[in-house]
Structure 1
Amino acid sequence: MSGKEWPDGPIVVGVEWNFSEHLVRTAAALAAAMGEHLICAFVDPASYLTEWAPANQRTALSLDPSINEEAEFPSAHLQRRLEDVLGEPGESWSFRVLNGDVSKALNRLARNTDAALLVVGAGRPGSVAWLDRVLEGSVPAALIRHQQRPVLVVPEGGVGGA
């Protein structure tokens, strides 16, 4: 931050369907220590914003998401799982469902909420997860390359990988 004070603003944590409880607890503890609101954000990659369509195909509705209605029930389930870890949403935390490319959606949310920090997991271990990262790209790497604010990448599991 080059001599500047740490910025005020919420902490945004990106959560997946099978989020790590360690990731969420780490982000919540950090938000509490900083006295900031925690925004838990799930990005539905099966939906998208048409703003990313080629310019000659955009319409007046280009900022309206193409909603994946099948994701409405699972996102409610995801919120219930977050409530099991964090308690009821309110002053300390909230839940948002976003659409589109994960890193772009998290960047947009961080910018729109003037977030002080973005928190994401380092990624699942294993060959299937590795293949996903190869095909779709690494969310933490994309955020670090394109984000103007700090990005905290939390390794999977607790101390010693437990």
Structure 2
Amino acid sequence: MSDEASATPSPSETGAQPTGAVLVGVVAGQSPRVVKEAARYAKAFGVPLLVVNVDVTRFVAYEDPDGSVQTAAIDLAAVGRESEVKQVTDETSAALEGCDVEWSLRWLVGDPALAMKKLADEVRARLIVVGTRKQGLGESIREFFTGSVAVRLAHRQTRPVLVVPTGQLLDDDQDFEG
């Protein structure tokens, strides 16, 4: 659940751990509002923004004593993530264009809540920002099996978790279903 090596360095990546950063979880196709809101908090706190994408199709097989991570795919026939990595990188760059905050990208593997919790501990993050999930049957099934990332983060660590609404709002009397 540590970071996986990335062939795509971010524009401001310095190699150093961004201590005290605001950590934001992103997925491809997500509303740019999540990253922009996280950047607002990072700027207000005067800390870097650490943008995180978690590959849920891979898991940590083992960690070497030097901290390097060996991963394995859940589905050994899974296609590489190059297009998703490029999409996340492009969307993040576009969302943060003109934003005066230092930021970097990290690629993690495994369970999103646990991976982000571990990274937040490592960098002593000030805040974790995530977006609400999309509506739809596929997302409802995923959440049924894995649970809400925001809820799981809130119950497994001590940092504040900011949940940014990203989709269509529901009426107060409407159930959330796919």
How far off is 1:69 after superposition?
A: 6.9
| 1:84 counterpart residue number | 94
* Distance (whole Å) between structure 1 residues aligned to residue 107 and residue 92 of structure 2: 13
Q: 1:128 aligns with which of 127, 134, 138?
A: 138
How far off is 1:74 after superposition?
A: 2.1
* Distance (whole Å) between structure 2 residues aligned to residue 90 and residue 98 of structure 1: 25
The answer on whether the counterparts of 2:132 and 2:167 sit within 8 Å (CA) in structure 1 is no
Q: 1:102 aligns with which of 90, 99, 112?
A: 112
* Distance (whole Å) between structure 2 residues aligned to residue 72 and residue 12 of structure 1: 22
How far off is 1:19 after superposition?
A: 1.5
Matched residues, number? 147
Would you say 1:142 and 2:152 are equivalent positions? yes
Q: How does 1:55-94 map to 2 (within 5 A)?
A: 63-66=69-72, 70-87=80-97, 92-94=102-104
**What amino acid is the match of 2:160?**
P
Say what the alpha-carbon RMSD is for the aligned residues. Answer: 2.9
Corresponding residue SS for 1:95: strand
C-alpha spacing 1:119/1:110, structure 2 compared with 1 (3 Å): same
**What amino acid is the match of 2:50?**
I
Between Structure 1 and Structure 2, the one with more helix by share is 1
Corresponding residue SS for 1:70: coil
Corresponding residue SS for 2:40: helix
Q: How does 1:144-159 map to 2 (within 5 A)?
A: 144-157=154-167
Residue by residue over 1:114-154, the C-alpha shift from the partner in whole angstroms, topping out at 9 and shown as x without a partner, is 11111111211233322221122111111011012111111
Corresponding residue SS for 2:107: strand
Task: Give percent identity, aligned residues only.
Answer: 31
* Distance (whole Å) between structure 1 residues aligned to residue 86 and residue 98 of structure 2: 13
Q: TM-score by structure 1 length?
A: 0.78
C-alpha spacing 1:29/1:89, structure 2 compared with 1 (3 Å): closer
C-alpha spacing 1:71/1:118, structure 2 compared with 1 (3 Å): same
Structure 2 gap segments, 5+ residues each: 1-18, 171-178
The answer on whether the counterparts of 1:89 and 1:95 sit within 8 Å (CA) in structure 2 is no
Structure 1 gap segments, 5+ residues each: 1-7, 52-57
The answer on whether the counterparts of 2:134 and 2:167 sit within 8 Å (CA) in structure 1 is no
* Distance (whole Å) between structure 1 residues aligned to residue 143 and residue 85 of structure 2: 23
Q: How does 1:45-60 map to 2 (within 5 A)?
A: 45-51=56-62
Residue by residue over 1:21-79, the C-alpha shift from the partner in whole angstroms, topping out at 9 and shown as x without a partner, is 1111111111111111001100000111024xxxxxx9989942236770134212310
* Distance (whole Å) between structure 2 residues aligned to residue 32 and residue 91 of structure 1: 6
Q: TM-score by structure 2 length?
A: 0.71
| 1:27 counterpart residue number | 38
* Distance (whole Å) between structure 2 residues aligned to residue 64 and residue 136 of structure 1: 23
